[in-house]
Structure 1
């Protein structure tokens, strides 16, 4: 073999080696597929142990980027669920109908991710616990509010029309009952379940607990926030019942995922209702769909403040939807020490995403379809 051919063979060999090395660096691909005939923009979750298998490494690089085949970078969050270890990798992804995206990891500093979810305990406002995302905000009331003239019982909702996080700012100024361009709190909860809170139900009566007693933030953004609220035991007929609620809010979502864990003795089921307070003004629309698990309300307009849509969504169908104590009630039942999941939340017409009752019902129907058909994740 002459020098020219030897050099050519050497070049070919080096190209082959470099190509193999690049394949090793890319490793197996993470394939995220949308099997529905609608576009989706949401979080995809992959267990961290599986994530490590994808890239054939014993431990992930300290800093890495997730990119597709064109080099586009995807934002992610390492979810810990209150532990010291990573449990899931949450990937923010926009994916067209009936399509898939293939991702791989490369070492390097990822682009900064703007926080889109947030929660905190608010001791300066009677033990409130408040949380929000880029669409909507909520709060639950704490012990210090009990017995005051302004006491309230259920879930409060704040109308937002900004993607910015507002909880800290609004509490700092205390001026959040007037819209200064980003939204306001005009929702009236009173001694009701408010915007979809839940309670035991016996003899056609809602059996309210006291306000939450303990809080624990498990993850706090930037793309998903999860926290847990604990309630001291209370009497429900002949049962003593205690409860923990684990609430998760993702970026881009109008609804919370609420996981309930009731503890009580004696076996059997504990009847529950998740409620939405109904307004006395004319013009509201009630939405009931047992098979889709939807109990929702498009409120009457509140003057210049606009209109809120409120919803309760069952993970499966709902056995019954009734009206009592001035509230729309979605019926559930709990088994002791077994998790029960449902969804609650709302939308404001002035936010420009959902404008009327029909659009609200369409959103909830689509949301339920996505819950039942999560993004498919595979390794190739």
Structure 2
């Protein structure tokens, strides 16, 4: 009887050991050090590890907890498990999943509608902050068109604080809003492009926050149908930002009545200077610009990356650098825009900004490989 008990005990131990070996394998196919938020479909994840929504994730080698988020994409049910990881060049990372509550973490991303400032919609992560302008600003003398960038040098989330203090055009140690948008596309917005001319849309009319941290914030801005150059055009922009990234991901769904494709441009505001520091790389599909320093505020880097669509670089516009493309009705057009500030002391030169943009584009083209074993 003792031998039977002993055999059963060994069998149970082996079974539990096999169960405990279920692992997330993440492989880096590039020569880059990468810190990213990876996404795993929740259905596959829950089935593989036998968990519901209460679990923790640990680095298998160090035993340290890894931050994760349950992404719902505006739904009631969980769609994806998001995990922030650091991984060395050409390396493999192993993560284990445990049936224990995850530690509470401080959010690194955030977005909100700002009715107290003319319907702004603002968002940020631990590195950068942006905003789009709303309906209440239209028609005012201070109306602007494109995307605004707030220069941060703190990892704290500042949107609520800066709006409450209403003094964000001065740097009190956390950064400031000195970026000028005006009648341009600013830090990477888009406009329609008929007859070789930019046609700005009205500002957004509705918004929907899909997820709001701690690792990824995503939201949708909805624009009402509008007659532009004799064509009734409607569009939505779904924007997401991940912790630790200088870039947003922007997905545009556009529909124009009476035509299958609509010409548009994405752009970056130019400044008045004789020798601008910018580069368009047709092979990498990137455009970056390193602004001059005005009033000792610092240097701003702005960039665009269009991974798939056919694009044409337009440099002769007096107000902005443009990338032109044509978008099919109801077909997602995806691009990325990013920003950096030299006084944040992470990216401090035009060369460093160009390198960062190139590395970011490579990371999108060669995503981390994820397997559940």
Residue among 75, 81, 84 paired with 1:89:
81
Compare CA radii of gyration and give the structure with the larger one: 1
Counterpart CA distance in 1 for 2:12 and 2:268 is 64
Bigger CA drift: 210-219 or 270-279? 270-279
- Alignment TM-score, normalising by the size of structure 2: 0.95
Q: What does residue 17 of structure 1 align with?
A: 12
Q: Is the 8 A contact 1:292 1:318 kept in 2?
A: no
Bigger CA drift: 175-184 or 106-115? 106-115
Q: What does residue 3 of structure 1 align with?
A: none
Paired residue secondary structure (2:40):
strand
Asked if residue 140 in structure 1 is aligned to residue 135 in structure 2, the reply is no
| Alpha-carbon shift at residue 290 of structure 1 (Å) | 1.4
Counterpart CA distance in 2 for 1:277 and 1:14 is 70
Structure 1: gaps spanning 5 or more residues? 1-5
Counterpart CA distance in 1 for 2:266 and 2:239 is 15
Q: Is the 8 A contact 1:39 1:96 kept in 2?
A: yes
Asked if residue 379 in structure 1 is aligned to residue 372 in structure 2, the reply is yes
Residue among 54, 71, 79 paired with 1:63:
54
Asked if residue 42 in structure 1 is aligned to residue 33 in structure 2, the reply is no
Residue among 171, 187, 196 paired with 1:179:
171
Q: What does residue 342 of structure 2 align with?
A: 349
Asked if residue 302 in structure 1 is aligned to residue 297 in structure 2, the reply is no
Q: Is the 8 A contact 2:46 2:52 kept in 1?
A: no
Paired residue secondary structure (1:304):
coil
Residue among 150, 155, 158 paired with 1:158:
150
CA RMSD of aligned residues (A): 1.6
Q: What does residue 250 of structure 2 align with?
A: 258
Alignment of 1:309-324 (within 5 A): 309-316=301-308, 319-323=311-315, 324=317
Residue among 219, 228, 231 paired with 1:239:
231
Q: What does residue 109 of structure 1 align with?
A: 101
Counterpart CA distance in 2 for 1:115 and 1:267 is 43
Asked if residue 54 in structure 1 is aligned to residue 40 in structure 2, the reply is no
Counterpart CA distance in 1 for 2:219 and 2:38 is 19
Counterpart CA distance in 1 for 2:121 and 2:345 is 27
Q: Is the 8 A contact 1:283 1:300 kept in 2?
A: no
Bigger CA drift: 27-36 or 352-361? 27-36
Size of the aligned set, in residue pairs, is: 371
Counterpart CA distance in 2 for 1:157 and 1:128 is 13
Q: What does residue 358 of structure 1 align with?
A: 351
Counterpart CA distance in 2 for 1:138 and 1:100 is 34
Q: Is the 8 A contact 2:309 2:333 kept in 1?
A: no
Counterpart CA distance in 2 for 1:237 and 1:168 is 38
Q: Is the 8 A contact 1:234 1:242 kept in 2?
A: yes
Structure 2: gaps spanning 5 or more residues? none
Counterpart CA distance in 2 for 1:199 and 1:234 is 13
| Alpha-carbon shift at residue 45 of structure 1 (Å) | 0.5
| Alpha-carbon shift at residue 227 of structure 1 (Å) | 0.2
Cα deviations across residues 16-38 of structure 1 (Å, max 9, x unaligned)?
422322432x2522211111111
- Alignment TM-score, normalising by the size of structure 1: 0.94
After the TM superposition, list the runs of 4 or more consecutive aligned residues in structure 1 that deviate by more than 6 angstroms.
none
Counterpart CA distance in 1 for 2:8 and 2:139 is 80
| Alpha-carbon shift at residue 295 of structure 1 (Å) | 1.5
